[in-house]
Amino acid sequence: MKSKAVFSTIVPMLAVAGMLWYGSGINSTSAVGADADNAGLKLPAGFGALRAAENTGKARHISVTPAGDIYVKLARPKDGKGVLFLHDTNGDGKMDETQGFGNYGGTGMYIKDGYLYASSNSEVFRYKLNDKQQVIDPNTPEKIVTGLIEKNQHETKSLVLDNAGNIYVNVGAYSNSCQEKDRTPGSMGQKGCPILDSAGGIWQFKADKLNQTYGDGVRYATGLRNVVGLDWNQQNNQLFVMQHGRDQLHDLFPAMYTTQQSAIYPAECMYALKKGDNAGWPYIYYDQDQKKKILAPEYGGDSKKEGMPEAITPAVAFPGHMAPNGLLFYTGSQFPEKYKNGAFIAFHGSWNRAPEPQAGFFVVFQPFKGGKPFGQYEVFADGFTGSPEKTASGRADHKPCGLAQGPDGSLYVSDDVKGTIYRIVYNKK
């Protein structure tokens, strides 16, 4: 891969022994003030927000270093660069220096054990970091995984690492419900859904082994239509994921489902995964009101008949078609105690809830207690779309996608419409 690190702004940078570092700058973990308008967001009392960066490109997942610098994975390269490194020189919380590298688009981004991991839609790379968590050589990343399925539907490869040297990669199903003819009314499901052999699940690979393919990895969990948001729960030492539920129940089987049912079902589900788990796609979906695993109509279901009892049950079921794209377990100490070890989820927003209003476009908080979901979720950050009318129509100014925690306990949220990076802080006074 040919790439050369460049800056989109002039920066005081020195290259010493092959390492990139800034000659001056103030640690951006110091206290910062919120924007006068809270960056346009609606937040609980005591919280504020600022626009840490704007117009970065289609910002997907993000990571924040111990120094408060931000790495951003872009869905599509901007000026030929698919990974951004953002730096704040004066400690005001605004990222005023930008470095770009990597000539590929994608979604996955994670820092672990001295490396930055980033994914395209078919490969996973890693970059060695120096002691300031800055990439040493942006031009020659190690290629960790190659040859993952990319068929222009659910192709993003989100990733996360555990504490035992393993990396987990989503390989989304290139189908809505594994029909013989995808998204065709009345078409029945393929028996033994062949898609599951190479997609529709989470694959586990070694984090330090080069050029791995499917044969080198483990199909860690299956029956997951598409996972974009995922995180490693440090309290449980376990993988949690957010599945995008299937679409078009009414469009495909109008005799069984009303348009209203199709707008709100199935649930968007959080799963706590263990090796070998099966979440049931495409054979079932989860109905959040009946609280049941319902047999999919493509496989003989009628909207009420249950199926596949051996499939795992969701840890939490959220309303349908809101597209959970980010998941983060909060381990910081800046926010009030109730947020400790709970889950923040970025819902990217819906497109297929008609005739109901579109929904999502916000960040919610799901409390946890004893390592398990506890109580009801609450909307934590809203207002990304710009207005209630834009929310209802789905014409959002901004859509939350990635989540990251700063070293001071701030919560960062990326937007993949206009490339805003939000920083949410709590005023302890």
Q: How many domains does the chain have?
A: 1
Whether 284 is in a domain gets the answer: yes
Residues 343-390: tens digit of each pLDDT: 999 999 998 898 899 999 999 999 999 999 999 999 999 999 999 999
Question: CA 155 to CA 96: how far, in whole Å?
Answer: 32
Give the C-alpha separation, 157 to 275, whole Å: 19
The reported pTM is 0.92
Is the pLDDT at 17 greater than 50? The verdict is: no
CB 262, CB 250: distance < 8 Å: yes
Q: Rounded distance, CA 241 to CA 386, Å?
A: 28
With H, G, I as helix, E, B as strand and everything else as coil, classify residue 386. Answer: coil
Mean residue pLDDT of the chain comes to 92
Bridge partners of 128?
115
**Residue 119 pLDDT exceeds 90:** yes
Round to whole Å and give the CA distance between 54 and 93: 12
- Between CA 231 and CA 62 the distance in angstroms is 13
Do 83 and 5 form a contact (C-beta atoms < 8 A)? no
13, part of any domain: yes
Structure tokens given for 247 = 């679409």
Query: pLDDT tens digits for 245-297?
Result: 999 999 999 999 999 999 999 999 999 999 999 999 999 999 999 999 999 99
Range of the domain at 255: 6-426
CA separation for the pair 322, 363 (Å, rounded):
11
Q: Is residue 324 part of a domain?
A: yes
> Is residue 140 in some structural domain?
yes
Query: What does DSSP say about strands 372-373 and 411-415: parallel, antiparallel, or unpaired?
Result: unpaired
1 in a domain, yes or no?
A: no
Q: What's the confidence (pLDDT) of residue 55?
A: 97
Within a domain: 295:
yes
Q: What is the CATH number of the domain that holds 380?
A: 2.120.10.30
| Whether pLDDT at 200 is above 80 | yes
Q: Does any domain span residue 244?
A: yes
